[in-house]
């Protein structure tokens, strides 16, 4: 499962029996040991990454076996099986109203 808050992407992977879990994708050149995930007491492994706007492919590696996240934004065929997809939207532009100032002219 993947959630996005601003430009921070949180990856959650349920594998309570795993000893170690890593996150790999085209955002880190598929380096399997580069992004380690932390195990929670609930059995979910978590990792948060700041990612720029765009579409990224990724997979989880738990104890040497690769897994696809079917709860992500979709899946696509990859070189070694199905890759999960995460889409990070471009930040919304915030347009603020200019401050109004009242000018009093003395007569």
Q: pLDDT tens, 25-78?
A: 999 999 878 899 999 999 999 999 999 999 999 999 999 999 999 999 999 999
Residue-level pLDDT at 36: 95
Question: Do 46 and 70 form a contact (C-beta atoms < 8 A)?
Answer: no
Greater confidence (93 vs 9) lies with: 9
Q: pLDDT tens, 10-22?
A: 999 999 999 999 9
């Amino acid at each position: 499962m993947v959630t996005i808050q601003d430009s921070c992407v949180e990856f959650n992977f349920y594998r309570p029996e795993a000893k170690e879990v890593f996150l790999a994708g085209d955002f880190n050149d598929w380096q399997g040991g580069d992004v380690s995930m932390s195990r929670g007491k609930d059995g979910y492994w978590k990792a948060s990454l700041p990612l720029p706007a765009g579409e990224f492919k990724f997979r989880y590696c738990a104890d040497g076996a690769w897994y696809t996240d079917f709860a992500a934004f979709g899946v696509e065929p990859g070189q070694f099986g199905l890759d999960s997809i995460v889409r990070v939207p471009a930040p919304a532009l915030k347009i603020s109203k200019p401050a109004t100032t009242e000018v009093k002219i003395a007569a």
